[in-house]
């Protein structure tokens, strides 16, 4: 199956890993998309498992505060990083692939290697699209996370107090993410039923049940 993915995606070496954003994703078989579903589903379950662990630690008075802060707890910090990385990847999938403008040609491009929402549609225009308010909210969350998790940023030191009560460690955003994945799965049933039949019972249903344990997310931070 993995071999199939690689051969389908083969391009001339000079093409690099970037492509015009208007170019459709390579056509995928059901088996390839099912493999992608397992990647997405595992990411979702890891994020939720980490979030539940964070809430359990919180009940015990342990918060994933930044390393310079009194009460820093290495395990709590480790779980937080895991949750945020997985959450960010899931948001990136839901909002659509990252694009940038090529300075030489002015063309909008995206990474051809990304497992993206468009890989599941039949064309560049036949794609699932989330509610705009949720999109703005989740994109904002992902941008904030990216700055703090992908880089050693001074914000990790300057913003530690806000993270304790309403900040980046909030776990409830995963509720919104699971809701969006459920909506995406409904859309997928009409196009790729064999893929949706894997995604729903193996990942979305258990994720929905587990995410109920998490608190309602606070206002954007
Ligand atoms: Zn794609």
What are the angstrom distances between the C-alpha of 207 and each of 52, 53, 61, 87, 137?
Answer: 11, 15, 26, 13, 21
Quote the longest CA-to-CA distance of the chain: 55
What is the Cα–Cα distance from 211 to 148, expressed in whole angstroms? 24
* pLDDT (tens digit per residue) in 138-156: 998 898 888 888 888 888 8
One-letter-per-residue 3-state SS of 86-145: HHHHHHHHHHCCCEEECCCCCCEEEECCCCCHHHHCCCCCCCCCCCHHHHHHHHHHHHHH
The highest-confidence range among 17-31, 100-114, 192-206, by mean pLDDT, is: 192-206
Cα-to-centroid distance, 157 and ligand 1 (Å): 36
Question: 159 C-alpha vs ligand 1 centroid, how far in Å?
Answer: 35
Pick the more confident residue, 210 or 162: 210
How many Å lie between the centroid of ligand 1 and the Cα of residue 110?
9
Enumerate residues with CB within 5 Å of ligand 1 (an ion): 25, 116, 118-119
Average pLDDT for 51-79: 90
CA 38 to chain centre: 14
Instruction: Report how far ligand 1's centroid is from the alpha carbon of 115 (Å).
Output: 5
Q: What is the pLDDT of residue 125?
A: 75
- Rounded to the nearest angstrom, the distance between the alpha carbon of 25 and the centre of ligand 1 is 5
For the record, the structure tokens of 174 come out as: 């995963």
Pairwise CA distance, residues 26 & 37, whole Å: 16
Kindly give the distance from the C-alpha atom of residue 117 to the centroid of ligand 1, in angstroms, as a whole number: 6
pLDDT band at 100 (very low <50, low <70, confident <90, very high): confident
- Residue 206 backbone dihedrals phi, psi, to 5 degrees: -60, -35
Q: Do residues 72 and 156 lie in contact, with contact meaning Cβ atoms separated by under 8 Å?
A: no
Q: Measured at the alpha carbon of residue 103, what is the angle toward residues 102 and 104, in degrees to the nearest 5?
A: 90
Residues 6 or more apart from 77 whose CB is under 8 A from it?
64, 65, 66, 67
Q: Are 91 and 136 in contact (CB under 8 A)?
A: no
Distance separating alpha carbons of residues 55 and 189, to the nearest angstrom: 33
Report the pLDDT value the prediction gives residue 16, as an integer from 0 to 100. Answer: 60
Instruction: For the chain, give the mean pLDDT.
Output: 84
Q: What separation in Å is there between the alpha carbon of 23 and the centre of ligand 1?
A: 10
Count of Cβ atoms closer than 10 Å to residue 121 Cβ: 18
């Amino acid at each position: 199956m993995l071999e199939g993915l690689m051969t389908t995606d083969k391009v001339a070496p000079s093409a690099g890993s970037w492509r015009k954003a208007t170019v459709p994703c390579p056509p995928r078989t059901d088996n390839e998309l099912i493999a992608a579903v397992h990647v997405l589903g595992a990411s979702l379950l890891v994020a939720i498992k980490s979030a539940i662990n964070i809430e359990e630690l919180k009940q015990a008075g342990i918060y994933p505060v930044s390393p310079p802060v009194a009460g820093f707890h290495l395990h709590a910090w480790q779980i937080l990083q895991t949750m945020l990385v997985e959450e960010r990847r899931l948001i990136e999938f839901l909002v659509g692939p990252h694009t940038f403008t090529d300075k030489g040609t002015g063309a909008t491009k995206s990474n051809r290697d990304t497992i993206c929402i468009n890989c599941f549609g039949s064309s560049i225009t036949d794609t699932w699209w989330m509610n705009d308010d949720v999109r703005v909210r989740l994109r904002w969350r992902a941008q904030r996370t990216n700055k703090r998790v992908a880089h050693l940023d001074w914000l990790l030191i300057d913003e530690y107090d806000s993270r304790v009560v309403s900040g980046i460690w909030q776990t409830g955003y995963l509720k919104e993410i699971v809701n969006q994945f459920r909506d995406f799965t409904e859309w997928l049933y009409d196009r790729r039923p064999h893929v949706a039949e894997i995604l729903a019972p193996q990942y979305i249903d258990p994720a929905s049940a587990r995410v109920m344990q998490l608190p309602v997310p606070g206002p954007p931070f």
